[in-house]
Amino acid sequence: MAGILWPEQSQENALASLRTAVWRARSHVPELLTSTRHDVDLHPDVTVDVHQLAEVARYPLDQSRLQSLADQRGVLDILASHGELLPGWYDDWVLVERERVRLQHVRALETLADQLLRGDQPSDAVRAALAATTLEPFRDSAHAVVMRAYLSEGNTSEAIRHFQHYRSQLHRELGVGPSIAVQRLIRPHLARFAG
């Protein structure tokens, strides 16, 4: 751990820095860490946001866990408020874990958006789907849910505007267009709106 946190220091100095950091943490927040001569860990009562996110992200995937609209909105509040894991860290293990957490997060938001849409809650579905597109700006399935939610609430112009923005973004950033499925979803509305 000392080598990861203080890679530019010698092993001896890194260990001294670790001891100092543990001492400071204990003096400011006595119940934060547990440690032995060879191990440092978070106290079992400490809540870790990424663990909370992982637990909450499982809820939309297990229909039996979400019993009510209040449950869905509570899950949405948590999922929509979480950001990136350890921003600014670029160690290989962080990059892999960040990607795993991000994908789990996006899938949970998409699934929840679909559930909210089926439950006739298009505004909440839009919120969940837009949170998914923020995490993954080039994911067709997330943008499709946004458009379906707008269409569900009768907001055709907003669905078309979202499609056009997404199409422009894909073309500008990646030189591609939306998937055939996304185009099929919006095509009848484009024709009707233009005519």
For 123-138, write each residue's pLDDT tens digit.
999 999 999 999 999 9
pLDDT at 64 over 80: no
Cα 99 to Cα 10, 83, 173, distances in angstroms: 31, 12, 20
Where residue 178 falls among pLDDT bands split at 50, 70, 90?
Answer: very high
pTM over 0.85: no
Mean pLDDT of 53-73: 63
DSSP assignment letter at 190:
H
SS3 187: helix
Where residue 177 falls among pLDDT bands split at 50, 70, 90?
Answer: very high
Residues near 67 by beta carbon (within 8 Å), at least 6 away in sequence: none
Give the model's pLDDT for residue 29.
87
pLDDT at 57 over 90: no
Q: What is Dmax (Cα atoms) for the chain?
A: 75
Give the model's pLDDT for residue 98.
87
